[in-house]
């Protein structure tokens, strides 16, 4: 990763951008010795967005799977009770995460 400071950006922005594009290596811009901005090529940025979206989709799938498992447990618990009872206690247990 190439490290530049704010002054370098002001004076040599086009050179820094060209280096990032040609090498594919990102640059980090420091201000008072702290990173404030990363400069990455457009294709690298778009690839990061695609990977982030894929990760978010996997997370949603996992959440959905967990929710369906909780619903299955709730149905099994209701079936074990045999008769139709007031569902308020079961719903409360489900909300509080006590249904197992």
Strands 27-31 and 34-39: antiparallel
**DSSP symbols for 44-68:** HHHHHHHHHHHHHHHHHHHHHHHHH
> pTM for the whole thing?
0.56
Structure token pair of residue 58? 């996997």
> For residue 83, is pLDDT > 70?
no
Residue-wise pLDDT tens digits, 46-55: 999 999 999 9
Q: Which CATH number fits domain 2-40: 3.40.30.10, 3.40.1620.10, 3.40.1110.10, 3.40.1010.10?
A: 3.40.1620.10
**Phi then psi for 28, rounded to 5 degrees?**
-110, 135
| Between 2 and 29, the higher pLDDT residue | 29
Query: What is the reported pLDDT for 99?
Result: 59
């Amino acid at each position: 990763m190439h490290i530049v400071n704010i002054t370098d950006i002001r004076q040599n922005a086009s050179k820094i951008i060209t280096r990032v594009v040609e090498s594919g290596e990102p640059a980090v811009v420091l201000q008072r010795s702290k990173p404030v901005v990363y400069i990455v090529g457009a294709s690298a940025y778009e690839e990061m967005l695609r990977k982030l979206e894929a990760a978010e989709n996997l997370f949603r799938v996992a959440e959905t799977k967990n929710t369906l498992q909780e619903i299955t447990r709730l149905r099994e618990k209701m079936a074990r009770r045999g008769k139709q009872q007031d569902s308020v206690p079961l719903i409360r247990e489900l909300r509080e995460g006590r249904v197992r």
